Structure 1
Amino acid sequence: MVFYFKARPEAGDYTIFMGLDKHENEELIKYGFLEDIWFHVDKMSSAHVYLRMRKGQTIDDISEGNKVNNIDVVYTPWANLKKTASMDVGQVGFHNSKMVRTVRVEKRINEIVNRLNKTKVERKPDLKAEREAVNAAERAERKLHLRDKKRREEMDRLEKERQAEMRSYKGLMVAEKMTSNKQIASENKSLQELEDDFM
């Protein structure tokens, strides 16, 4: 079971979610998105909470809220979470400790907690399928971008060839386009007619 919450509309269309227990946390760790930011109360047994950011946003775009007084909340991008076989269920480490931030929360803000609880929805998502769908969409987008890039490069190449052809003289001296003096003489045209043809 995963619990989903919605941020207030004026803050943006963000999804906040957390697992029911440490086993759900394992699934959330395994199938997170690059846009996910992981939160945990430091040095306390607490839920792993995630905030799904929009593409292009960073960890610097986050503001905080809390349930209890005088706590430290650690947070980091999902991609920085490290899970090894020797770790207990629900336990995580970090690839780069410099990417982990801590914020001291002095006082609980009940209005935030109450507002979030009113948006709470329980679902049983297929996290693996969601992750695979996002991966497939990203691959398709990269493939389309690459195809467009190759098409633009080919069009540029053809245009450069066309411009070079127009500037070259090689098209002027083609035998099929030439007329010999004998051919001109055989047409029995007057000098005036020949001059008119030339102009």
Structure 2
Amino acid sequence: MVFYFKARAEVGDYTIIMGLDKYENEELIKYGFPEDIWFHVDKMSSAHVYVRMHKGETIDNISEGLLEDCAQLVKANSIQGNKVNNVDVVYTPWANLKKTASMDVGQVGFHNPKMVRTVRVEKRINEIVNRLNKTKVERTPDLRAEWEAVNAAERAERKLQLREKKRREEMERLVKDRQSELRSYKGLMVAEKMTSNKDIASSTKSLQELEDDFM
């Protein structure tokens, strides 16, 4: 089971995702997307929460409102973190999550600790948590199938873009070749370099003139 929440409307159309337990968390780790940002209460057990950013956006594009929604949700879904104030929540891009064979189910590390950010949550804000819970939708998705479908669509899009790029390059080459041909033709047609039949006739000696020269 995976839970889907909607962030506050004023920050834009963003979906926040949370696994039911460590097994769903494992699937979310495995089949995440480059746009996903992962959240977890620091040094405490908690749910794994993700926000799916829009295409082309990164962790730097998370607004304060969206960050607060994610941090409040992950704090509220931590048995320990929900009971105390001044909790630190860590977050990082999905691609920075590190999973090794020796780790327990749902456990993760980081490829680059410098890419992990921290936000302090002073206390639970029930207004935010309750609003998010009202948007909650439970689904049992095939995360692998969704991941494969998105990747297939992206591969098809890249192929289309590559074909379009090659077509543009071929058109540009043809235009350049044509322009080169025109410049060459114009060079041959310069008046000073042209010779008319009259010029040829006037510059060529007659048979009689040639015979007189010989004599």
TM over 0.5: yes
Distance 1:105 1:9 in 2: 21
Letter in 1 for 2:149: A
RMSD over aligned Cα atoms: 1.8
Structure 1 unaligned residues grouped into runs of 5+: 174-179, 182-199
Letter in 2 for 1:16: I
**What is the CA-CA distance between 1:134 and the residue it aligns to?**
1.0
Letter in 1 for 2:48: H
Give a deviation string over 1:34-83, Cα, whole Å, max 9, x none.
Answer: 00000000111111001000012221232224233211100000000000
Match of 2:131 in 1: 115
Match of 2:161 in 1: 145
The DSSP-based 3-state class of the residue aligned with 2:68 is coil
Distance 2:102 2:17 in 1: 26
The DSSP-based 3-state class of the residue aligned with 1:143 is helix
Distance 1:170 1:109 in 2: 78
The DSSP-based 3-state class of the residue aligned with 1:168 is helix
Q: TM-score, normalised by structure 2?
A: 0.77
Letter in 1 for 2:4: Y
Match of 2:192 in 1: none
Aligned residues: 175
Equivalent of residue 154 in structure 1, options 158, 166, 170: 170
Give a deviation string over 1:161-198, Cα, whole Å, max 9, x none.
Answer: 1111111149969xxxxxx96xxxxxxxxxxxxxxxxx
Match of 2:36 in 1: 36
Distance 1:60 1:158 in 2: 43
Q: How does 1:32-111 map to 2 (within 5 A)?
A: 32-62=32-62, 63-65=67-69, 66=72, 67=76, 68=82, 69-111=85-127
Match of 1:2 in 2: 2
Letter in 2 for 1:35: E
Distance 1:172 1:100 in 2: 68
Distance 1:172 1:153 in 2: 29
Match of 2:210 in 1: none
Correspondence 1:129 to 2:145: yes
Identity %: 85
Distance 2:45 2:157 in 1: 40
**Which of the two has greater helix per residue?**
2
Give a deviation string over 1:133-159, Cα, whole Å, max 9, x none.
Answer: 111111111111111111111001001
Distance 1:151 1:171 in 2: 30
Distance 2:114 2:143 in 1: 28
